Amino acid sequence: MDVDELAQLSAKELHDRAVRYAVRHGDFGFLWDLLKVIPAAEAASGHADETANDLSRVSALLSDALGAGEGELGEALRPIYIDYLARHPDALKNSGEDV
């Protein structure tokens, strides 16, 4: 899939594919990058009150990363998922499996 095809996928599908691939391949760099941008994405999606809480609690960030494919947060993170999946085309294999 190229970037244009990835852009057609829902935020939930992008999230699931990117996180599933990163978990399976031990790509903690991507997961860490995702955790770092979640507070800004929450603020951009109208949830600024959650930003301060997330910055102070790593456990909240981990939980967010695993569930950050839905709603406004998922939409705000679409570019992150598209970029990651475009750089890892083999992540698109076996897309029917859950995270």
What's the pLDDT score for residue 45?
Answer: 82
Q: Using one digit for the tens of pLDDT, what is the confidence trace for 38-85?
A: 878 888 888 777 766 665 666 666 677 777 788 888 888 899 999 999
Instruction: HSE, CB side, 13 Å, CA atoms: give it for residue 37.
Output: 16
What's the pLDDT score for residue 36?
Answer: 81
Residue 77 near residue 11 (C-beta atoms within 8 A): yes
Residue 51 near residue 42 (C-beta atoms within 8 A): yes
Q: Taking Cα atoms as reference points, which of 11, 67, 63, 82 lies closest to residue 92?
A: 82
**Structure pTM?**
0.58
